[in-house]
Amino acid sequence: MQNLREEEEDCRCSSGSDIVPFYHSGSIHSCPSIDSDYADRSNTSSSLTSPYTPYRRYSSMTLSEYDNDGFKVALHNKVGKRGSSNGCLQNATGVVHMYSGTVLVSDMILSRITLFAENGRFRNQFSTGQSNEPWDCDIMKNGTIICTIGQEHCIALYSVDGYLKRKIGGDILVQPRGISKFNENSVIVTDTSLNDVLMFDFNGNLLRSFSDENINLKFNQPRYVTCTTNDQGMILVSDSGNHCIHIFTKEGKLLTTFGGYGRENGDFRFPYGIVCDKEENIYVADHYNNRVSMFTSSGTFLRHVITPEMRLKRPQSLSLCNLMTHNILYVTHGLYYACLFLYPFTYSSVSLGPLRFAVLFV
């Protein structure tokens, strides 16, 4: 019961009175079809584009860029605004980078999935059903979008234009939350009601229960999950109610656990989104500590990437674009649930060179 009241806090959106319009002028770049060769485009560098595109910034934000011991972070862009019309968001619970800065965002309240182009402009969206609460999403190499549907207790598979292919897991899942592709034949999903992490194939067959594989492990509201792409194929789960991160082998066996309740470095208060970079560093959205923290592949704390001083509040989902000279971290953020934040960052410790990006919001 430790601090479970925090999980029930109403993360109300502000009226947005401190947001002012900002327009960036630049050249328009075409965005290639998302139906083709997604797998080969995930590391393609994106451009900052589009004349008179309505970006938004906090007029009072003073720490949109900082350099901490060679680790440089800057606010790159904000995507979306609060509302229900096209391109607006209410509660962005899932985000996944596709290619060249193009992202998919699942909105639990609006029950839809929205596609934003590299310049932050709305491109397309589709409904997942009336008030069925799509929580998290991912995309397969063949372009299939996979999404957890809370009110229908299942995983839905869509084409990129929103055509529903099928639903799976409805006979097992209760409150599916985070989702990640494991390979091209299977998917991993967390369930906060079952307090379990489950693997399914795309015919809906249950392949593995992580609780069954680890009988001494007791999940407490496992929230998000991600899978590494290295040879080891590790699986990482944010166990929110236990305030920790679990790392599993690709066979589902627990390797290590790190974290614990608190506010100090390396602690969590309900970890949410989790993602890894190509150097196998781990990034965690520390929901009620209002920060995103960085760890080694074994769980050793390195630094806080984004902090409350940068006006971050209630971070939820994370995604990452790995580029040659820097990374771009996508964060869905709860101060204005309508906003999706992009933080380009680099760190000199791995000799990635100088920071090479435009800072649109200062």
End-to-end CA distance of the chain: 41
Q: How confident is the model at residue 55 (pLDDT cuts 50, 70, 90)?
A: very low
**Pairing state between β 301-306 and 92-99:** unpaired
Q: What is the mean pLDDT of residues 280-307?
A: 94
Tell me which amino acid residue 129 is. G
Q: How confident is the model at residue 337 (pLDDT cuts 50, 70, 90)?
A: low
Q: Would you state the pLDDT for residue 118?
A: 79
Judged against a pLDDT cut of 90, whether residue 81 lies above it is answered with no
Q: In angstroms, rounded to a whole number, what is the distance separating the alpha carbons of residues 34 and 38? A: 7
% of the chain with per-residue pLDDT over 70: 73
Q: Would you state the pLDDT for residue 312?
A: 83
Q: How confident is the model at residue 105 (pLDDT cuts 50, 70, 90)?
A: very high
How many Cβ atoms are within 10 Å of 273's Cβ, its own excluded?
Answer: 28
Sheet holding 301-306, edge to edge: 271-276, 282-286, 291-295, 301-306
Mean pLDDT comparison of 2-11, 61-70, 308-317, 331-340, highest-scoring range: 308-317
Q: What is the mean pLDDT of residues 104-125?
A: 91
What is the rounded average pLDDT for all residues in the chain?
78
Q: In angstroms, rounded to a whole number, what is the distance separating the alpha carbons of residues 345 and 305? A: 9
% of the chain with per-residue pLDDT over 90: 53
Conformational region of residue 153, where left means phi above 0, alpha means psi within -120 to 50, and beta covers everything else: left
Q: Would you state the pLDDT for residue 62?
A: 39
Judged against a pLDDT cut of 80, whether residue 45 lies above it is answered with no
Q: In angstroms, rounded to a whole number, what is the distance separating the alpha carbons of residues 50 and 26? A: 5
Closest CA to 96 of 167, 142, 147, 164: 147
CATH topology of domain 4-9+18-29+42-324+337-350: Neuraminidase (2.120.10)
Judged against a pLDDT cut of 50, whether residue 60 lies above it is answered with no
Domain ranges of the chain: 4-9+18-29+42-324+337-350
Q: Would you state the pLDDT for residue 347?
A: 58
**Lowest model confidence (mean pLDDT) among 61-65, 110-114, 145-149, 331-335:** 61-65
Q: Would you state the pLDDT for residue 273?
A: 96
Q: How confident is the model at residue 333 (pLDDT cuts 50, 70, 90)?
A: confident
Judged against a pLDDT cut of 50, whether residue 17 lies above it is answered with no
Q: In angstroms, rounded to a whole number, what is the distance separating the alpha carbons of residues 188 and 344? A: 28
Judged against a pLDDT cut of 70, whether residue 47 lies above it is answered with no
Contact 152, 176 (CB under 8 A): no
Judged against a pLDDT cut of 90, whether residue 158 lies above it is answered with yes
Contact 136, 317 (CB under 8 A): yes
Judged against a pLDDT cut of 90, whether residue 72 lies above it is answered with no
Which tens digit of pLDDT belongs to each residue from 244-282?
A: 999 999 999 999 999 999 999 999 999 999 999 888 899
Contact 240, 220 (CB under 8 A): yes
Q: Would you state the pLDDT for residue 344?
A: 72
